[in-house]
Amino acid sequence: DGGITQSPKYLFRKEGQNVTLSCEQNLNHDAMYWYRQDPGQGLRLIYYSQIVNDFQKGDIAEGYSVSREKKESFPLTVTSAQKNPTAFYLCASSTQQGAYGYTFGSGTRLTVV
Amino acid sequence: QKEVEQDPGPLSVPEGAIVSLNCTYSNSAFQYFMWYRQYSRKGPELLMYTYSSGNKEDGRFTAQVDKSSKYISLFIRDSQPSDSATYLCAMSEAQAGTALIFGKGTTLSVSS
């Protein structure tokens, strides 16, 4: 079955650590996205990529980094510069015409301990 | 003014009720309109998709878009406890490369 796989489902980070969230899709989608979801805040766009080796900052990119070396993969690194990283992170993908809707992964819950 | 406004609720209804969920928006360039359903601790799933103005029906769900009023709605008929979830509206301009803009979501609870 085609879909998006996010891992791990739960992740714990110590203060000052960088952590990387994995996102893999086998839908042959060109575009991939990372969102952060906090209670009462809705979905906020962190980064997105329309093609391999290219990506753009979203509304809240500070403290995050991404790479897009393969079409199928779009990992997100939460750096120590992100002061409030505890949140639910969602990865999504779409055809390049993203207007036809996104397919979302099941999310990663990141907690700072 | 935020681009997309959505009442967060919560909205509580008895089983069998008709539910109306709504979003307003400010960007007249939006052409594509979607509704996503998100269960707790899960990723959103696409529920309804509409292009431009008009209605679209799928089983118990009807999506309406009124571009003149910049207003979209999702109606759920004969609501079921399994409909209890957060519903997010989303919209986009026509061009490739533009990201979806989401509302904050409305939390719905259907009691049996």
Mean of pLDDT values over A54-69: 95
Neighbour-count burial of A83, counting CB atoms closer than 10 A to its CB (0-12 exposed, 13-18 middle, 19+ buried): exposed
Measured between CB atoms, which of A45, A98, A107 is closest to B42?
A107
A91-100, A103-112, B15-24, B77-86: least confidently modelled range = A91-100
pLDDT of residue A39: 84
- Whether B41 sits inside 8 A of A41 (CB atoms) is no
Measured between CB atoms, which of B42, B43, B99 is closest to A98?
B99
pLDDT confidence bin for A26, thresholds 50/70/90 = very high
Q: Which two tokens stand for residue B105?
A: 């979501």
Integer-rounded Cα Rg, in Å, for chain A is: 13
Q: How far apart are the first and last CA of chain A?
A: 35
DSSP for B6-74 reads E----EEEETT--EEEEEEE--TT--EEEEEEE-TTS--EEEEEEESSEEEEETTEEEEEETTTTEEEE
- Calculate the average pLDDT of chain A: 91
Measured between CB atoms, which of B46, B99, B104 is closest to A42?
B104
pLDDT confidence bin for B109, thresholds 50/70/90 = very high
B78 pLDDT higher than 80: yes
B98 pLDDT higher than 80: no
pLDDT of residue B2: 67
- Whether A98 sits inside 8 A of B97 (CB atoms) is yes
Contacts (Cβ under 8 Å, ≥6 apart) of A109: A9, A10, A11, A88, A89, B41
| 3-class SS of residue A1 | coil
Q: Cα–chain-centroid distance for residue A1?
A: 21
Mean of pLDDT values over A50-59: 93
Measured between CB atoms, which of B8, B41, B100 is closest to A102?
B100
- Whether B96 sits inside 8 A of A97 (CB atoms) is yes
- Whether A40 sits inside 8 A of B102 (CB atoms) is no
- Whether A98 sits inside 8 A of B88 (CB atoms) is no
| 3-class SS of residue B83 | helix
Q: Which residues of A touch B34 (CB under 8 A)?
A: 101
Mean of pLDDT values over B76-88: 97
Minimum distance, in Å, between the CA of residue B15 and any CA atom of chain A? 26
Mean of pLDDT values over B21-38: 94
- Whether B88 sits inside 8 A of A42 (CB atoms) is yes
pLDDT of residue A40: 78
Q: Look at B15 and A1; give whichever has higher pLDDT.
A: B15
A7-21, A29-43, B91-105: least confidently modelled range = B91-105
Minimum distance, in Å, between the CA of residue A28 and any CA atom of chain B? 16
